[in-house]
Amino acid sequence: MDVEEQQTSGFTLAAWLFGSFGFLTVLVVAGWTQPLDETWNVAMANAEMPWLVDVAEGFNWIGSVPIAFSTAAIVSVFFLVMRRWWIAGAWIVMVGGAQILSSITKVLVGRDRPMDALVHESSAAYPSGHAMVAGAAMAIGLAVLLGFLWPNRYRLFVSVGVAYALLMAWSRAYLRVHWLSDVVGGLLLGTAVVVVVASAFAIGRSSASRSGDDPST
- The pLDDT confidence band at residue 202, using thresholds 50, 70 and 90, is confident
pLDDT in tens, 84-97: 999 999 999 999 99
User: Alpha-carbon distance 191 to 174, whole Å?
Assistant: 21
Nearest alpha-carbon partner for 170 in 58, 84, 19, 4 = 58
User: Alpha-carbon distance 25 to 182, whole Å?
Assistant: 9
Cα dihedral across residues 24, 29, 34, 37: positive or negative: positive
pLDDT in tens, 39-80: 999 999 999 999 999 999 999 999 999 999 999 999 999 999
**Is residue 203 scored above 90 in pLDDT?**
no
Nearest alpha-carbon partner for 196 in 129, 140, 126, 130 = 140
User: Alpha-carbon distance 127 to 105, whole Å?
Assistant: 7
User: Alpha-carbon distance 184 to 132, whole Å?
Assistant: 9
83: alpha, beta or left? (left if phi > 0; alpha if psi -120 to 50): left
State how far the alpha carbon of 36 is from the alpha carbons of 16, 117, 192, in Å: 23, 17, 24
Q: Could you tell me which residues come within 8 angstroms of residue 69 by beta carbon, excluding any fewer than 6 positions away?
A: 95
- The pLDDT confidence band at residue 129, using thresholds 50, 70 and 90, is very high
Residue 128's SS3 state is coil
pLDDT in tens, 139-176: 999 999 999 999 999 999 999 999 999 999 999 999 99
pLDDT in tens, 181-199: 999 999 999 999 999 999 8
